[in-house]
């Protein structure tokens, strides 16, 4: 007996699922946003929690010991929940250059 499949197509979310293409663009925004708070962030660090919701991504970054230490040096205290809120709000919504950063990062 031969079975036939009703499967007609397979759809992949290519961006970050099958191919790591374009994921550099949002990383540039995270790097730039943290810089606005006086904290250096590498693209590799920013990419670490990729796939999380933006607020969870920021919280995960601020829990990283090296980033938390740089935050404390730059801001005078360890990162708090209010800092997660501030960085999350700043990162995409209120950052006028985010589109330009994403465009330039995706070209790199």
Q: What residues are annotated to the active site?
A: 13, 54
CA–CA separation, 79 vs 59, rounded Å?
A: 9
Helix (H, G, I), strand (E, B) or coil at 66: helix
Whole-angstrom CA distances from 62 to 9, 15, 20, 102 are 41, 25, 24, 22
CA–CA separation, 80 vs 87, rounded Å?
A: 11
């Amino acid at each position: 007996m031969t079975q036939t499949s009703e499967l007609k197509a397979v759809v992949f979310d290519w961006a970050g699922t099958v191919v790591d293409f374009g994921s550099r663009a949002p990383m540039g925004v995270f790097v730039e946003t943290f810089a606005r708070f006086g904290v250096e962030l590498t693209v590799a660090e920013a990419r670490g929690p990729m796939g999380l919701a933006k607020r969870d991504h920021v919280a995960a970054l601020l829990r990283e010991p090296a980033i938390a230490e740089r935050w404390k040096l730059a801001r005078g205290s360890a990162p708090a929940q209010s800092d997660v809120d501030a960085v999350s709000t700043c990162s995409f919504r209120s950052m006028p250059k985010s589109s330009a950063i994403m465009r330039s990062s995706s070209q790199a």
